[in-house]
Structure 1
Amino acid sequence: MELAYHPHDLLWVNQLADNQQTPAWFHLKDLITRPVVVRRAPYEADRIAVGIRGYNRSQRHGSFVNSQAVFRHITPEQLVAKQGWHTQQQTHPLPHWQTLTQIDRIFRSFDLSWGITGSLAFELATSVETANQQSDIDLRVLAPTPIDKTTACELAKELAALQQRPDVQIETPLGAFALSEWTHTSGSVMIKSNQGPFLSVSPWQTDSD
């Protein structure tokens, strides 16, 4: 089944799916300006699993929204296409923005599409200053078909040479795995799926295939 939204996509919604109990730091009015983040969870008909972010790292809450509540949607790859880190560097200087320019150059040389996730993505999408000097550079690569491992090792080597090393997750139809883990092992890697984690020798298929 082809899903409309992938983990780490940002959604602006006008309501949550249920009258759920929400944390004290969350207010429904926050949904107007602060998107929710699609998270991994077992699929439920017309219920999208999302995470709500607060104003600091400890403020996280899992919830659900209905597809009808979504009025805006931005993917990590669309954030890269906008190249918004150039503007953000002027308003909220961080070394991460220059690193993203270097990362973009590397991915272009490999002809691979990539996306920004985590706190950097949230800041680029909202202009709310959620990132800081200690923020990780979290990235994803949507890979519906297998990536050659030799190419992946070359990519990982170039990214590792950067002063700020990014954390790259490869997103397959089965789930996501860490680029660094895959390129440093000849055995199984951990796949994070909607049904939970599992090990596979080939990230694009289960060991029972």
Structure 2
Amino acid sequence: MKQEVRIHDLLQPAAASCVTAENAADQEAINHWLEWAPLVVVRRPGLMQGRIAVGVRGKQRSERYAAWLGLADIEAVHRPQDLRCEDHDPTMPALIALQRLQQRWKELPYAWGPVGSVGFALASGRSTLHAASDLDLLLRLDVPPPNAVWAKLLNDTEDLPCNVDVQVQAPQGSVALAELAANSRKFLLRANEGVRLVRDPWAQ
């Protein structure tokens, strides 16, 4: 696997047997849900002994399982920015919202895309959405744009038919778009080692 794997990417294992439960008692459930949809999500960056920390999901929020997948056992990578809603279900507000944003952000020079239930549904073809589903988005930026961009992006999400949560992923962790648009003096950075307040999410 030569392609870089980042947090929130969806991975297709070469086989269900390649995914090992973090808690051995969850292995049967993991095998079951991988038969239903053979995808796992990267839980945190980095490798441990050649393995990636991943999550396996079922249909319900309560059906979430921590697991490991070897880097060499990845068959395909679905990045958030690769997932687009072309033929949407007109009864699903989250998909309507995504399609509208695709039009508004079609010239956006940044990598962005759906994560959470919407991203999983688009990558797997499995129905994990309902009428009250939120649209969770990830905007990946290794270098920050001018501050005025944040307010414009947030404004684009405010008249959509469902709740939209946008996280901006910087090299050190992620920050809510709403915080960046507010031009706060400090930001809540969600990093691998925990949550902390920072003045600049892009500072080394």
- One fold, TM greater than 0.5? yes
Instruction: Name the counterpart of 1:140.
Output: 138
In structure 2, distance between residues paired with 1:9 and 1:181: 24
Long gaps (5+) in structure 1: none
The one-letter code sitting in structure 2 at the alignment partner of 1:79 is: L
Residues 1:202 and 2:203 are matched in the alignment: no
Instruction: Name the counterpart of 2:19.
Output: 16
Residues 1:86 and 2:86 are matched in the alignment: yes
Long gaps (5+) in structure 2: none
3-state SS of 2:120 partner: helix
Residues 1:37 and 2:21 are matched in the alignment: no
Q: Structure 1 residue 153: deviation in Å?
A: 1.2
3-state SS of 2:26 partner: coil
Q: Is the Cα contact below 8 Å between 2:81 and 2:111 reproduced in 1?
A: yes
In structure 2, distance between residues paired with 1:34 and 1:22: 19
Instruction: Name the counterpart of 1:50.
Output: 54
The one-letter code sitting in structure 1 at the alignment partner of 2:87 is: T
Instruction: Name the counterpart of 1:129.
Output: 127
Q: Is the Cα contact below 8 Å between 2:88 and 2:99 reproduced in 1?
A: no
With over 3 angstroms needed to count, the CA separation of the structure-2 counterparts of 1:189 and 1:57, relative to structure 1, is: same
Count of aligned positions: 199
In structure 2, distance between residues paired with 1:45 and 1:24: 20
Instruction: Name the counterpart of 1:151.
Output: 149
In structure 2, distance between residues paired with 1:52 and 1:18: 9
Q: Is the Cα contact below 8 Å between 1:12 and 1:31 reproduced in 2?
A: no
Q: Structure 1 residue 51: deviation in Å?
A: 0.8
Q: Structure 1 residue 185: deviation in Å?
A: 4.1
With over 3 angstroms needed to count, the CA separation of the structure-2 counterparts of 1:177 and 1:199, relative to structure 1, is: same
Using the size of structure 1 for normalisation, the TM-score is 0.84
Question: Hey, which of these two has a bigger chunk of strand by percent?
Answer: 2
In structure 2, distance between residues paired with 1:17 and 1:116: 26
The one-letter code sitting in structure 1 at the alignment partner of 2:66 is: G
The one-letter code sitting in structure 1 at the alignment partner of 2:136 is: D
Residues 1:4 and 2:10 are matched in the alignment: no
With over 3 angstroms needed to count, the CA separation of the structure-2 counterparts of 1:107 and 1:89, relative to structure 1, is: same
In structure 1, distance between residues paired with 2:177 and 2:121: 24
The one-letter code sitting in structure 1 at the alignment partner of 2:5 is: Y
In structure 2, distance between residues paired with 1:189 and 1:64: 31
In structure 1, distance between residues paired with 2:99 and 2:177: 20
Q: Is the Cα contact below 8 Å between 2:33 and 2:56 reproduced in 1?
A: no
Using the size of structure 2 for normalisation, the TM-score is 0.86
Deviations 1:126-179 (A, max 9, x none): 111111111110000110111221111111122123232411111111111110
Instruction: Name the counterpart of 2:162.
Output: 164
Instruction: Name the counterpart of 1:26.
Output: 29
3-state SS of 1:26 partner: helix
